[in-house]
Amino acid sequence: MIVIHQAIYGELQGKTSGHDLLAASDEKNELFRRVSGYTDLADRPVGGILSSPVVRGFFAEDHFLLIKTFPDKSPGLRSGRVFSHALFIPKADLHRVRELSDLFQYHLPDIQKEAKMHSLEYLSQEAMTITGAVNGREAAATNALLEKQPFVWLGEEGYWEWVARIWPKLPAKVKHMLKIGAAFGPSYVNKQCLSLLYIPEDAKTLWERHSFRVLGVGESQPLRSSAANWLVGDVKKAIPFETLLNDFAPIIDSIETLNRLEDYGKAYHQIDKTPGLNHLLVLAHFVSQISPNERVGIKGKNKLMTAILQAIPTAPVKMFMALTYQSWKGFPNAITSVSGAVLDWLTNHLLQGRQVKECGAVLVKALEAETKNWWVNAVLEYVNNRLKRRQPSDASILWQWMKNEPALITQHTSWLPDDAENELTPKIPKLETAVAEAVLHMAEQKGWLVLHAKVAAQLYSAEKAIEAQLRIDTDEDHTVALEALSECISKSSFVSVAASHTDARLHRIAGKFIYENKQLLKGIDIASEGWQKCWELAVQRGSDVWSGISNPQHTLFEVLDHQLAGNAFSATLLNAISTGKYSSLKDYPQRASIWHALPDKARTGFITATLLELFDDLATSKLSFNDLEAELKNGVQSQNVQQLVISSKTIPLTKKLRLLDVLPSLGECHAQQLIRDNQFSPAEAKEFGRLVSKNRWETVADDLFKLGSHRKDLVPALLQCSDLLGFFQRLGLSVTGLKSDAITQDEWWEAFLSRAVELYPLGPTQNGLWANSGGKLEELHYQGVSGKQSWTFAINHIRKGGSPPVKKLLKEMQKEFHGDFKLKQLIQLL
């Protein structure tokens, strides 16, 4: 039972100043007085005078007012006054009013200003099903209601019957915002309310001008949806909609809900025909809103969930991401089963398959989610675990993700492992500027120096890339990243930039490049310490000091001018230059001044190289030794210089021989080395022998004699200095015929005497030598004298023609000393 209060409103002549509460069923309730203004008719026909009673219904505060308003033409009242009888139905009870038109019976049949008001007890009854066919105007109105078209019913005829058709099915919340009944002016329509109005016949044009569809008796339109059929009570044609209601047990709270259930429910009706996952998800999301109770709608929810689980494995990326919007409220145990399907999808698609390039969007969706729901947690947990077990092939995919979804780069800490640099670096793709800058920032945050280097080389010029790298790559012992950067830019650009910096790592890399490609020294600035360092390191690697320098002598003189001016220059380079190919200062204009400006080691090298060139002039008498600077003169005294001169492969032997003659520092040991290291032409050998004889180098002469038998090129030298040889050596020369006049007759007899005394120290009579040779003892002096004295007398006797002949005497001596080489030589010269 519903308690309905009532009240009447109007004007009593002489008792009120206008329209006001006249009587109410509960005089103490101020509600009746507060709504007095609503019962007056602000919205009136043209002219402001109501011609006949009208019924209106709308909410005021927490009551639905069903008001019947009469034109009040009572004597003494101003024109246009009205009398209203209002029924007050509590908001909470309105849904129990099955037939709104049932309440019309409680309205006064006419104006009764003295009527007593008392509360009414209304017994709610089941609504009577209207079985008559729906006419065209009712169908048009129902369609317009569901399609949210602003419309009005023309005239009152048939209006309340249509309202009676739809009233039982109108959702309670819809009724709470409802405004029904008569209306006169479009401007009074509250857009916040659902207005189901009828208008006077003569107001059609006015309402049409305000874009209202005016439904007249001539409307001929069928119902366009099963929801529309359900709303008007056509059970048969509403079966599809009833199925949705029965299977899901939704809470219908608005016309919009009816429309959406109709629209989204199409996927449910086609569920056996495998509708798209998007349609199923839209329906599931909607069901969660209108049927949140897990204990109701089980049939529809289970059937829908089964279809969704079957569709997920082949879902495209966008549809897979749409799962994040599903709360699964109202679906029993849905999160567990769908989470399993989500993991299967991730396993099969995230890092493999034809959709893999698009899957970065999945991760972005999860990372950017405002709340970490079931889907977000499943995706992030899978990605984190999968990347811990990442494969080398994953790197290209991760790069593709980051290129397509730069948000992944900014959120790298939430998903990208800190130890992934080694896999990512070899697979860096071509990056757009904004993406590359984001990657650089990420690499800096993660400490990925090698990746930073390679991306910087891709993004910036060589100079800017190196500067960007040095800003974060500050460990002097860490060279790997800078080496990686150097491989990504031209070698010439790298060397040029490296030379402009002070970083030793850059210099080492540049030195390596110069060692590998000498052309990189073309742009060298010898005044630059950076260039000097790069050049120095190339030389230390094994590069020739002048390799790549187009005009070595010019550059050398620039270096010396730079040094002479008091500027810094690499001592290591100076040392290398001083021993290089173009290290002679013979033609350097400021040669006399440079020596004091050079470090000791370099000075020695330059002096040596300069002397080697000057020796040519010294050897040809173009230059006198005394004309040399003191440093060069001292250099000549250096054993190293002397050794270099003698062992030099570039100084001809002829010139070396000349230097032996003009340089006081060269001596016998150098002459010996010349013998060891050179083959002599006849002229060179003759000149060499002259020098040996001139300088009285007896040791050298002895060496020549010893080598004479197998060094035929030395024979002319030996002959020139034979005067330095001992007798038997000269005797050998005579014997061999190399120099027949090597000894004199007197020297021969002296040699014979010497050998005879050595072999027969007792004298010629020893061992019967003299007698056996045919000599007469009586012709000898042998008694009372020494053996030598006796031999001296005997040789003088023979030289004067006495017997025995010397040759016979030697033959006899040879019989006893048959292996004596000197005897043999003496015999050969007879």
At 302-334, the pLDDT tens digits run 999 999 999 999 999 999 999 999 999 999 999
Instruction: Say which amino acid occupies 753.
Output: L
pLDDT(287) > 90: yes
- For 51, other C-beta atoms within 10 Å of its C-beta total 9
Q: Where residue 131 falls among pLDDT bands split at 50, 70, 90?
A: low
pLDDT at 16 over 70: no
Q: Lowest mean pLDDT: which of 72-86, 127-141, 437-451?
A: 127-141
Grouping H, G, I as helix, E, B as strand and the rest as coil, residue 10 is: strand
pLDDT value of residue 740: 65
Amino acid at 451: L
- The token pair at 576 is 């290398």
pLDDT bucket at 149, cuts 50 / 70 / 90: very high
Half-sphere exposure of 377 (CA within 13 A, CB side): 9
CB-based contact 205:142 (threshold 8 Å): no
Give the C-alpha separation, 720 to 705, whole Å.
Answer: 11
Q: Which residues of 698-720 are buried (b: 16+ CB within 10 A; e: fewer)?
A: bebbebbbebbeebebbbbbbbb
Name which of 437, 436, 494 is nearest 467 in CA terms. 494
Segment 453-480, tens digit of pLDDT: 999 999 999 999 999 999 999 999 999 9
pLDDT digits (tens, 9 = 90+) for 23-32: 999 988 999 9
Query: Pick from 804, 802, 803, 811: which is nearest to 830 by CA?
Result: 811
* Amino acid residing at 416: L
CA torsion sign for 749, 752, 757, 760 is negative
What is residue 558's predicted lDDT score, i.e. its pLDDT? Answer: 94
How many residues in the chain? 830
Domain-wise residue ranges, the chain? 2-122, 136-232, 548-736, 745-828
pLDDT score, position 636:
78
| pTM of the predicted structure, to 2 decimals | 0.67
The pLDDT tens digits of the residues spanning 589-605 come to 999 999 999 999 999 88
CA distance 580 to 605: 9
Interaxial angle between packed helices 745-759 and 727-736, expressed in degrees from 0 to 180 and rounded to the nearest 10: 120
Which strand (E) or helix (H) includes residue 38? helix 36-39
Angle (CA) 304 306 311, round 5°: 95
Is the Cβ–Cβ distance between 342 and 380 less than 8 Å? Answer: no
Helix (H, G, I), strand (E, B) or coil at 85: strand
In three-state secondary structure terms, 343 is helix
Q: Helix, strand or coil for residue 620?
A: coil
φ, ψ of residue 26 in degrees (nearest 5): -140, 90
Confidence of residue 614 (pLDDT cuts 50, 70, 90): confident
Residue type, 115: A
- Report whether pLDDT(109) > 70: yes
Tell me the mean pLDDT in the region 529-538. 95
Which string of b and e fits 564-601 if b means at least 16 CB within 10 Å?
eeeeebbebbbbbbbebeebbbeebeebeebbeebeee
> Does the pLDDT of residue 127 top 60, yes or no?
no
Q: What is the pLDDT of residues 770-822, one digit of tens each?
A: 988 988 888 887 777 888 888 989 889 888 888 898 888 889 898 888 888 88
Q: Which of 190, 9, 183, 161 is nearest to 100 (CA)?
A: 161
Measure CA 228 to chain center: 61
Select from 571, 638, 570, 639 the least CA-distant residue to 602.
571
Segment (H or E) for 59? strand 54-60
Cβ distance 472 to 444 under 8 Å? yes
